[in-house]
Amino acid sequence: MSIDLSDCPEDLQEAVAAALSAAGVTSGHVGVEIVAEGRMRTLNYAHRGVDEATDVLAFPIDDESPEGDVPREMGDVFICPDHASDVIEAAVHGTLHLCGYDHESDGGEMLALQDEILAGLDGAGGSR
């Protein structure tokens, strides 16, 4: 099995793949969608009870790989460019959330890994 980024904008695939790799994920499917402010506000209210738009939301689906030859459905990341200072950073951030990272409770591990991934993208001639 492999990583399936067919439901991810092409210009974000490198960043999402780098985040998955850094998190040790070697197979699965991730969806990323760019949304307008109104859609993001609706998602944020429906799922977090916050009646305002935000930069990125992540909705994990499968915590573990299923049995057999079925690829893991990692989940979906929604990004609102009107609220994201950097869409690439938002893609990495949301993907790390899908991988189980939580910057609100991990003592800085997720944000340090995010910085490392972004530095690697910059250094590798990434699209930032």
**Mind listing the pLDDT tens digit for each residue in 84-95?**
999 999 999 999
CATH number for region 3-123: 3.40.390.30
Q: Provide the pLDDT for residue 1.
A: 62
Q: Which amino acid appears at position 86 of this protein? A: D
pLDDT reading at 54 higher than 80: yes
Q: Which helix (H) or strand (E) covers residue 63, if one does?
A: none
- The full set of domain ranges for the chain reads 3-123
Residue 8 in tokens: 């991810």
The whole-number pLDDT of residue 124 equals: 57
DSSP-assigned letters across all residues of 71-111? PPEEEEEEE-TTT-S-HHHHHHHHHHHHTT--TTTSTTHHH
